[in-house]
């Protein structure tokens, strides 16, 4: 019966191809979109997996740009048992870079780091690795560490100046986190950062906390939250999900929403194709019933047909989606096509095919065999 | 003789809006094993309706339809499909072959839903096609066959289940007279040599000469049934 169903859907090639195309486009765009989101997630997870310690923010903080925390918290957190150092950080969006106006949402971020505290910490004030140049020294002033993306975008190299909000800083190092998103930042000594932004006096954005024993970080985080939990919030830095998880979950949800709209469109296309197909075959279907096919047999035949459209659309969508995802990666974005994405979208395509075939199958199964014998 | 299909005072009324049309008004008919029944009547006489009811494709408004002595009123859709699959074959005026399937596949289509018991079916289909003189057309599609050849494919299809009774609705209606005669001779031969039971509905009076039972239908009623001894039929006169 499968052979029969396959031969049936190729009776009207163009019509079948169009509904296959509907599914294919849905699957391909889903794979391309999700692969970009997963790629971004992968990049940031990579960056965070290297990070150690914790971050202390005000309660209910969204973007650290909007956080204001009293400076005194640094001392309070450092007095918690197990905490080695709490480095005050301020973060602001740059208004101009080399005289170029910044769009707020895509602005270069200026991070001011308290260098005297940072000196007591292990590692750097950034997550990732130093590509060239050197890290800050406690006495540094008027110097900047730039992310790789800034270096590429603004053509900087060691020793050149970078102008931020009208003040110039000498580039002493370039670092990378592996993620373009996190590499679009400039690190300055905290006083320099205060000098060029209107950050409120006595306030900071957050604290980077390091622990005496890194393996104990989760326990110390819990301790901080136990003591000060009703005023501030401490989160482990390598706990990616608490940092970015919810943002990515919303983005994934949005992509799935778009995909489900595409699915409905594709399903309507299949319903239309299959309905036309069974309606014009009423005599043939009637004849099948006359020669002993049950309603169930007819339903099965039609569902095989629509499922096959789904299978075809799914396979072609996977190929095109994979190709699109690869093409996107050529532009420098990380894309991740997971096997669960491929399997999920294929199963989805087949399910849409079957759902799209249900109503036409029902109509076909109710066709009257007498119609098959009626003379034109 | 055993009655294969029996109609007892069957009526069929179609209601269209406020008017009711009696397509059949009290028809009783017995089809026995080995019969070659030819039902003739002008168009509108109810012969198609009669055949649909005989073939269990339609239900009567009143009266009984017995197949192998069993009243089909008690059977549901699935039972009826099974009954047709096992005991009944159909030959249609417009053939109703599936255009994407070849001759052999078309002949086997009634057996397609079978989950098991398919062994030997292909061989059987090939033998049937040889019998209807299409042994050299097994892989042709319907559109590569002439009208007469297509009707012979549908005869082979009607025989694949080895049915007890075969219904043909205007089997020669779409064929020229010579081809039509060949087709009817083929059915006649199957009846004579293999004892297959046929019920043929037609407006073509010339088919009556083959009949063991001639049924004349007018305005939904049987006006006359003539029985002919097999020996008196065409080709058996001598």
Mean pLDDT along residues A194-207: 89
Nearest to A288 among B105, B109, B169 (CB): B109
Q: From CA B82, how far away is CA B72, in angstroms rounded? A: 12
| pLDDT under 50: residue ranges of chain B | 1, 237-238
In angstroms, the separation between the Cα of residue A296 and the nearest Cα of chain B is: 9
Nearest to B92 among A1, A4, A372 (CB): A372
Q: List, for residues B11-31, the tens digit of each pLDDT value.
A: 999 888 888 888 999 999 999
Q: List, for residues A157-170, the tens digit of each pLDDT value.
A: 899 999 999 999 99
The ipTM is 0.89
Q: Enumerate the residues of chain A whose CB falls inside 8 A of the CB of residue B121.
A: none
Q: List, for residues A31-70, the tens digit of each pLDDT value.
A: 999 999 888 888 877 777 666 788 888 887 767 777 888 9
Structure confidence at residue A102 as a pLDDT band (50, 70, 90): confident
pTM for this one? 0.74
Taking the Cβ of residue A49 and every Cβ of chain B, the question of whether any pair is shorter than 8 Å is answered with no
> So where are chain A's domains?
2-44+244-374, 60-230
Q: List, for residues A318-367, the tens digit of each pLDDT value.
A: 999 999 999 999 998 889 999 999 999 999 999 999 999 999 999 999 98
Half-sphere exposure (CA, 13 Å, Cβ side) for A90? 26
Taking the Cβ of residue B210 and every Cβ of chain A, the question of whether any pair is shorter than 8 Å is answered with no
Q: Enumerate the residues of chain A whose CB falls inside 8 A of the CB of residue B98.
A: 4, 284
Please tell me the predicted confidence (pLDDT) of residue B1.
Answer: 47
Cβ distance A375 to B94 less than 8 Å, yes or no, reads: yes
Q: Is the pLDDT of residue A249 over 60?
A: yes
Q: From CA A291, how far away is CA B108, in angstroms rounded? A: 11
**To the nearest whole number, what is the mean pLDDT of chain A?**
87
Q: Enumerate the residues of chain B whose CB falls inside 8 A of the CB of residue A304.
A: none
Please tell me the predicted confidence (pLDDT) of residue B145.
Answer: 94
Taking the Cβ of residue B208 and every Cβ of chain A, the question of whether any pair is shorter than 8 Å is answered with no
**To the nearest whole number, what is the mean pLDDT of chain B?**
90
Please tell me the predicted confidence (pLDDT) of residue B238.
Answer: 41
């Amino acid at each position: 019966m499968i052979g029969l169903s396959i031969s049936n859907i190729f009776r009207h090639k163009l019509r079948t191809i169009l509904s296959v195309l509907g599914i294919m486009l849905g699957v391909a765009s889903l794979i391309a979109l999700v692969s970009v989101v997963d790629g971004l997630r992968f990049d940031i997870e990579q960056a965070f997996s290297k990070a150690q310690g914790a971050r202390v923010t005000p309660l209910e903080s969204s973007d650290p740009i909007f956080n204001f925390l009293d400076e005194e918290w640094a001392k309070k957190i450092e007095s918690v048992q197990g905490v080695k150092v709490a480095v005050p950080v301020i973060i602001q969006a740059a208004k101009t870079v080399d005289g170029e106006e910044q769009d707020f949402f895509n602005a270069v971020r200026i991070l001011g780091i308290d260098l005297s505290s940072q000196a007591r910490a292990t590692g750097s004030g950034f997550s990732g690795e130093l590509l060239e140049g050197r890290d800050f020294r406690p006495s540094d002033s008027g110097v900047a560490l730039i992310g790789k993306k800034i270096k590429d975008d603004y053509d900087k190299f060691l020793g050149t100046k970078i102008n931020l909000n009208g003040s110039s800083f000498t580039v002493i190092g370039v670092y990378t986190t592996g993620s373009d998103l996190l590499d679009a930042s400039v690190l300055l000594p905290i006083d320099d950062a205060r000098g060029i932004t209107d950050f409120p006096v006595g306030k900071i954005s957050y604290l980077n906390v390091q622990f005496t024993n890194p393996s104990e970080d989760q326990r110390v985080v819990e301790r901080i939250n136990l003591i000060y939990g009703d005023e501030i919030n401490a989160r482990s830095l390598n706990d990616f999900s608490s940092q970015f998880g919810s943002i990515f979950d919303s983005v994934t949800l949005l992509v799935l929403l778009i995909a489900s709209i595409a699915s409905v469109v594709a399903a309507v296309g299949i319903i239309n194709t299959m309905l036309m197909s069974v309606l014009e075959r009423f005599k043939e279907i009637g004849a099948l019933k006359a020669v002993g096919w049950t309603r169930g047999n007819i339903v099965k035949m039609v569902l095989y047909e629509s499922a096959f459209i789904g299978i075809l659309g799914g396979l072609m969508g996977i190929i095109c989606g994979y190709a699109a995802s690869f093409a996107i990666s050529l532009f420098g974005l990380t894309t991740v096509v997971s096997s669960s994405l491929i399997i999920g979208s294929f199963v989805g395509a087949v399910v849409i095919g079957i759902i799209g075939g249900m109503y036409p199958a029902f109509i076909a199964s109710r066709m009257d065999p007498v119609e098959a014998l009626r003379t034109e | 003789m055993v009655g294969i299909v029996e109609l007892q005072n069957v009526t069929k009324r179609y209601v269209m809006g406020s008017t009711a049309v009696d397509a059949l008004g009290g028809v009783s008919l017995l089809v026995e094993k080995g019969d070659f029944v030819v039902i003739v009547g002008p168009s509108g006489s109810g012969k198609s309706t009669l055949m649909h009811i005989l073939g269990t494709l339609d239900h009567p408004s009143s009266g009984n339809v017995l197949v192998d002595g069993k009243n089909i009123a008690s059977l549901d859709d699935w039972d009826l499909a099974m009954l047709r699959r096992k005991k009944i074959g159909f030959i249609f005026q417009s053939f109703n072959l599936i255009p994407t399937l070849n001759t052999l596949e078309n002949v086997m289509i009634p057996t397609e839903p079978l989950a098991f018991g398919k062994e030997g079916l292909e061989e059987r289909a090939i033998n049937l096609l040889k019998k209807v003189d299409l042994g050299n057309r097994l892989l042709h599609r319907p559109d590569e066959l002439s009208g007469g050849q297509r009707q012979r494919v549908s005869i082979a299809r009607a025989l694949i289940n080895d049915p007890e009774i075969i219904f043909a609705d205007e089997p020669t209606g779409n064929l020229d007279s010579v081809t039509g005669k060949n087709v009817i001779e083929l059915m006649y031969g199957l009846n004579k040599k293999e004892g297959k039971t046929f019920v043929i509905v037609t407006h073509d009076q010339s088919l009556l000469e083959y009949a063991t039972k001639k049924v004349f239908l007018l305005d939904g009623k049987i006006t006359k049934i003539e029985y002919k001894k097999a020996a008196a039929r065409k080709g058996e006169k001598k």
